Structure 1
């Protein structure tokens, strides 16, 4: 709290009263004086935010104390500046009107030194405590709202990297979900969502596919049709995501997480019972999951993916209505028709939020970390690492991207560039594979390995200049490497993986 002395504005037309009050209070406070109501309002116009307390005479010529209070209410000064009324008037109507206008306390003339000093001190003390409480509540609300928005950014970054989708997908889902919910309210009185519930469901929709972080890349980003076995693995993402959300400590008891769980687990259920994971049918499927299901399918159809081109808005609507993506609630199909013309423009207006690495780490830890459950801490680290990785790859302009994990020992290259280099997309135990050494060469390996395992590097990254043999020709290159450490034991950090980019120098 600041050491600056509190300022008290004394408003009284009687000079003697102002002198007496000033003498009683000037040892503790800075005093400002006004000879009447008009002068008091002029002073408040200039410095209302600086004044800690107003001592206001009730009966004055011209603008009296009650009229000053009226102006303070009209200009909202009364909310930030407590007022203690000075008066010899004790009649109930005047006192009641003063309290109705926001007066905190009364001091009656003739003045008693102890009464004046104690009431001023108590009023200021109470006001400070109220403001601290108000700031605490405001900050709490702000953080909760900000955390919800950050959560959307977190998930958009993760989905962007893991699923080969645009990071806009979860933002699109959020917007479409909100639009459909409002259309549903306009069509039927069966659902009585409040504004808070609409906001919570829309926010929770961004978590619908979070379980995909558990699905192997080769299945998640397969360009062709999945085999039955692969599809069975893919279908696990909804239950895996629900389990992950169930483990989150932050928001644990709030409606947001209940909606998020329902959406994550059941957004692939279908009206006719032929969805997954539980085969729910009709209105046994939570309405939040039903709405997100249509939003997800529409955006998936109108977006380009690694396995398909984007369909037009009109074609997507036709496919949904013809049950080509499963059977949906007829009422929700009517709602989709109601808002169909708005969807393309509304979606195009969405923009991905930029989230710094520091902000991401802070919010991910606040959401997932727990001193009691190591699983949550691991999830937090995984989210932070995925976000860091997505930022790294997003920053690259060219080159061949790669990732290497230690357990299991696995080197993965970007599919297209791996083919261009006559190099396999995935190589198990490259250190034992002659093909790897034929390309990388052993000349510079010792220096590269030293940097690779150095936990003290700035930002856990380095650039290494080397040569690679590509299709029989030796080519100079620059290798940009980002380390991924497990530092839960600071004394013994463990290198989990590396990822980076090889840029050939012409």
Structure 2
């Protein structure tokens, strides 16, 4: 097995090289981004890459490596000197397969390397069940980030659970009219899993914006909008690593498009009507209902009846008419969820 280690720190290079050589890896080293890019070859089974390089940081170096189709399947483990949320976000966005922080335990390094090489071998041999198991471990990190993002402005942590339940209620009702073919049991199962990931990109937004008690300025709101792109890119990286998955694709759609509006005036892409994926149209109703019911520093909570009226008033403007029509039949079930889990 051939491994490339990229680090400016000579001590780190020596320690990692000795460790891997002891485990019979064929180790090559580089002390800069440019040197690493020059040495890259499809013969490598793994790259260990420090994020703190002078000529080009490790995140950007990782991106450049992954942009080459010949190197895309080579696992990359990034090493960061700080355990920061934004580093995790950047790691996913850059295409990295894993992120470790220093100081690290040598046994942990061995395990992380072995897992990534095993995953690559399994992908090559098409052992899908084992790939899915390791993929699930990767997704645990994503779900942890979703909870972290929500914890910034949700003391109880119930928002994600409520939105998930609202989505299921609405989706089940939508199977009765025109969406019987699209909304299958698997669709509903995937929707329940994907719904809590709608705001995962907020981990990449500064706390002073997410937690601001007053209305955001225009500039701050533009930054806040980026959470849709950040979340989408994080999930897209998982898809790139592990192949097509209807669940991950649904999660990507929800993360990116849940702030689109039926009339085309939403963000980030200004989609309208049925160009907005069905799962995002469902999530939009659930998320807005919950936001209206929730007390925030910048707005008071409102009753179920008033929240329902606001959503009805937004049909064919903010919301798909069919979503609102379905809500009319099940809105009391939304109210029951709030009564059980409301803040």
Do both proteins adopt the same fold according to a TM-score greater than 0.5, normalized to the shorter chain? Answer: yes
Match of 1:236 among 226, 235, 254: 226
With over 3 angstroms needed to count, the CA separation of the structure-2 counterparts of 1:193 and 1:140, relative to structure 1, is farther
Structure 2 counterpart of 1:154, from 141, 144, 158 = 144
1:308 to partner: Cα distance: 2.2
Of 241-250 and 338-347, more deviation after overlay is shown by 241-250
Gaps of 5+ in 1: 1-136, 352-506
> Which residue pairs with 1:262 in the alignment?
253
Aligned position for 2:272: 281
Structure showing greater radius of gyration is 1
> How far 1:185 moved relative to its partner?
0.6
Following the alignment from structure 2 to structure 1, what is the Cα–Cα distance between the partners of residues 229 and 175?
Answer: 29
1:320 paired residue number:
311
1:187 aligns with 2:177: yes
* Secondary structure of 1:257's aligned partner: helix
Cα deviation code 1:326-377 (max 9, x no counterpart) = 52111110111111011122345469xxxxxxxxxxxxxxxxxxxxxxxxxx
Counterpart CA distance in 1 for 2:146 and 2:330 is 25
Matched with 2:80 is none
Give TM-score scaled by structure 1 length: 0.39
Contact 1:221 1:306 in 2 (8 A): no
Structure 2 matches for 1:78-227, cutoff 5 A?
154-155=144-145, 157-189=147-179, 191-227=181-217
Q: How far apart are the structure 1 equivalents of 2:235 and 2:254?
A: 11
Please point out which of 324, 327, 332 is paired with 1:341.
332
Distance 1:165 1:187, change over 3 A: farther
Does the 8 Å CA contact 2:169/2:333 hold for their aligned counterparts? no
Query: Are the structure 2 counterparts of residues 328 and 322 from structure 1 closer, same or farther at C-alpha, using a change threshold of 3 Å?
Result: same
Distance in 1 between the 2:161 and 2:234 partners?
Answer: 21
**Contact 1:291/1:332 (8 A) holds in 2:** yes
Aligned residue for 2:182, secondary structure, equals coil
Matched residues in 1 for 2:138 and 2:237: separation?
A: 17
Deviation track 1:156-192 (CA, whole Å, cap 9, x = no partner) reads: 5313432345411111111111111111111224643
Would the alpha carbon gap of residues 307 and 324 (structure 1) be closer, same or farther in structure 2, given more than 3 Å must change?
farther
In 2: Cα distance, 1:159 partner to 1:151 partner: 12
Aligned mates of 2:131, 2:296 — CA distance in 1: 38
Q: Is the 8 A contact 2:170 2:326 kept in 1?
A: yes
**Does the 8 A contact of 1:204 with 1:260 survive in 2?**
yes
Output one character per residue of 1:289-345: Cα deviation in whole Å (capped at 9) or x when no partner: 100011110111111223222211111111111129952111110111111011122
Q: Is the 8 A contact 1:211 1:241 kept in 2?
A: yes
User: For residues 432-464 of structure 1, what are the alpha-carbon distances to aligned partners after superposition, in whole Å with 9 as ceiling and x for unaligned?
Assistant: xxxxxxxxxxxxxxxxxxxxxxxxxxxxxxxxx
Distance 2:236 2:143 in 1: 20
SS in 2 for 1:263: helix
The unaligned stretches of length 5 or more in structure 2 are: 1-126
Structure 2 CA distance for partners of 1:150 and 1:245, relative to 1, 3 Å = closer
CA distance in 1, matches of 2:257, 2:176: 24
Decide whether the 8 Å contact of 1:148 with 1:203 is kept in 2: no
Tell me how far apart the structure 2 counterparts of residues 349 and 218 of structure 1 sit (CA, whole Å): 31
Distance 1:212 1:348 in 2: 27
Using a 3 Å threshold, how does the CA distance of structure 1 residues 198 and 152 change in structure 2: closer, same or farther? farther
Report which of the two has the higher share of helix: 2
Assess if the C-alpha contact under 8 Å between 2:146 and 2:199 holds in 1.
no
Q: Equivalent residue for 1:355?
A: none
TM-score computed with the length of structure 2 as normaliser: 0.56
The 1-side partners of 2:170 and 2:286 are apart by: 8
CA RMSD of aligned residues (A): 3.1
Deviation at 1:153, TM superposition (A): 5.8
Larger RCO, structure (CA 8 Å, separation 6 or more): 2
| DSSP 3-state at the match of 2:183 | coil
Residue by residue over 1:29-61, the C-alpha shift from the partner in whole angstroms, topping out at 9 and shown as x without a partner, is xxxxxxxxxxxxxxxxxxxxxxxxxxxxxxxxx
Q: Distance in 1 between matches of 2:218 and 2:316?
A: 17
Aligned residues: 215
Equivalent position SS for 2:324 = helix
Q: 2:3 maps to what in 1? A: none
